[in-house]
Structure 1
Amino acid sequence: MIKTNSLHITNEILALIAEIDEFKGAWRSLSQLAPEQLTSLKHIATIESIGSSTRIEGSRLTDQEVEVLLGNLQIKSFATRDEQEIAGYAEAMNIVFQNYEQIPFTENYILQLHQELMRYSDKDDWHRGNYKKSPNHVEAFGADGKSIGIVFETISPFETPLQMEQLVAWANKEFKEKTLHPLIIAGIFIVKFLEIHPFQDGNGRLSRILTTLLLLKQGYAYIPYSSLEAVIEQSKEAYYLSLRQTQGTLKSEKPNWGPWLLFFLRSLKKQKERLEGKIAQEKLLLTQLPELSQRILSIAKSRGRITVKDVVTLTSANRNTVKKHIENLSASGYLQQQGIGKGTWYVLSV
Structure 2
Amino acid sequence: MTNIDIPIGQELVLLIAEIDEFKGKWRALNTLAPDRLAALRKIATIESVGSSTRIEGARLTDRQVQALLANVGKQSFTSRDEQEVAGYAAVMDAIFVSWESIPFSENYIKQFHKMLLKYSPKDERHRGKYKKFENSVQAFDVDGNSLGIVFETTSPFYTPRQMSEIVTQTADRLISPTIHPLLTIGIFVVTFLAIHPFQDGNGRLSRILTTLLLLKAGYSYVPYSSLESIIEESKEGYYLALRQTQGTIGSDRSPNWEPWLLFFFRVLQRQKNRLQTKLDNERIMASTLPLLSVRILELAKEHGRVTTQSIEQATGESRSTIKARLKQLTLDRLLIRYGNGRSTWYGLS
* Alpha-carbon separation, structure 2, partners of 1:166 and 1:291: 53
Q: 1:264 maps to which residue?
A: 264
- Judging changes above 3 Å, is the alpha-carbon distance between structure 1 residues 215 and 146 closer, same or farther for their aligned structure 2 residues? farther
- Judging changes above 3 Å, is the alpha-carbon distance between structure 1 residues 211 and 200 closer, same or farther for their aligned structure 2 residues? same
Q: 2:126 maps to which residue?
A: 127
* Alpha-carbon separation, structure 1, partners of 2:244 and 2:139: 15
* Alpha-carbon separation, structure 2, partners of 1:141 and 1:213: 31
Q: Deviation string for 1:52-82 (max 9, x for gaps)?
A: 1111111122222222221221111111111
Larger CA deviation: 294-303 vs 268-277: 294-303
Q: 1:307 maps to which residue?
A: 311
Q: 2:202 maps to which residue?
A: 203
* Alpha-carbon separation, structure 1, partners of 2:83 and 2:216: 28
Measure how far apart 1:86 and its partner are: 0.9
Query: 1:60–1:145: 8 Å Cα contact kept in structure 2?
Result: no
Measure how far apart 1:339 and its partner are: 8.7
**Runs of 5+ in structure 2 lacking a partner?**
none
Measure how far apart 1:227 and its partner are: 1.0
Larger CA deviation: 238-247 vs 287-296: 287-296
Measure how far apart 1:92 and its partner are: 0.9
Q: 2:254 maps to which residue?
A: 254
Q: 1:109 maps to which residue?
A: 108
- Judging changes above 3 Å, is the alpha-carbon distance between structure 1 residues 346 and 146 closer, same or farther for their aligned structure 2 residues? farther
Measure how far apart 1:245 and its partner are: 1.0
Measure how far apart 1:141 and its partner are: 6.5
The one-letter amino acid of 1:175's match is: L
Q: 1:185 maps to which residue?
A: 184
Q: 1:286 maps to which residue?
A: 286
* Alpha-carbon separation, structure 1, partners of 2:113 and 2:152: 21
Q: With a CA cutoff of 8 Å and minimum separation of 6, indicate the structure with the bigger relative contact order.
A: 1
Q: 2:135 maps to which residue?
A: 136
Q: 2:80 maps to which residue?
A: 81
Query: 2:311–2:322: 8 Å Cα contact kept in structure 1?
Result: no
* Alpha-carbon separation, structure 2, partners of 1:275 and 1:309: 29
Measure how far apart 1:301 and its partner are: 3.4
Q: 1:61 maps to which residue?
A: 60
- Judging changes above 3 Å, is the alpha-carbon distance between structure 1 residues 144 and 188 closer, same or farther for their aligned structure 2 residues? farther
- Judging changes above 3 Å, is the alpha-carbon distance between structure 1 residues 338 and 220 closer, same or farther for their aligned structure 2 residues? farther
- Aligned CA RMSD, in angstroms, stands at 2.5
Query: 2:52–2:207: 8 Å Cα contact kept in structure 1?
Result: yes
Q: 1:42 maps to which residue?
A: 41
The one-letter amino acid of 2:224's match is: Y
Query: 1:58–1:142: 8 Å Cα contact kept in structure 2?
Result: no
Measure how far apart 1:210 and its partner are: 0.1
* Alpha-carbon separation, structure 1, partners of 2:141 and 2:71: 28
Larger CA deviation: 34-43 vs 223-232: 34-43
Measure how far apart 1:326 and its partner are: 5.1
* Alpha-carbon separation, structure 2, partners of 1:146 and 1:38: 45
Q: Deviation string for 1:188-230 (max 9, x for gaps)?
A: 0111111111000000000000000000111111111111111
For residues 240-251 of structure 1, what are the structure 2 equivalents within 5 Å?
A: 240-251=239-250
Query: 1:140–1:148: 8 Å Cα contact kept in structure 2?
Result: yes
- Judging changes above 3 Å, is the alpha-carbon distance between structure 1 residues 35 and 176 closer, same or farther for their aligned structure 2 residues? closer
Measure how far apart 1:232 and its partner are: 0.8
Identity of aligned residues (%): 55
- Judging changes above 3 Å, is the alpha-carbon distance between structure 1 residues 40 and 85 closer, same or farther for their aligned structure 2 residues? same
Measure how far apart 1:270 and its partner are: 1.0
Query: 1:111–1:130: 8 Å Cα contact kept in structure 2?
Result: yes
* Alpha-carbon separation, structure 1, partners of 2:329 and 2:248: 58
Q: What secondary structure is seen at the aligned counterpart in 2 of 1:125?
A: helix
Query: 1:308–1:345: 8 Å Cα contact kept in structure 2?
Result: no
* Alpha-carbon separation, structure 2, partners of 1:105 and 1:164: 12
TM-score, normalised to structure 2, is: 0.89
* Alpha-carbon separation, structure 1, partners of 2:230 and 2:90: 21
Q: 2:275 maps to which residue?
A: 275
Q: What secondary structure is seen at the aligned counterpart in 1 of 2:6?
A: coil
- Judging changes above 3 Å, is the alpha-carbon distance between structure 1 residues 270 and 321 closer, same or farther for their aligned structure 2 residues? same
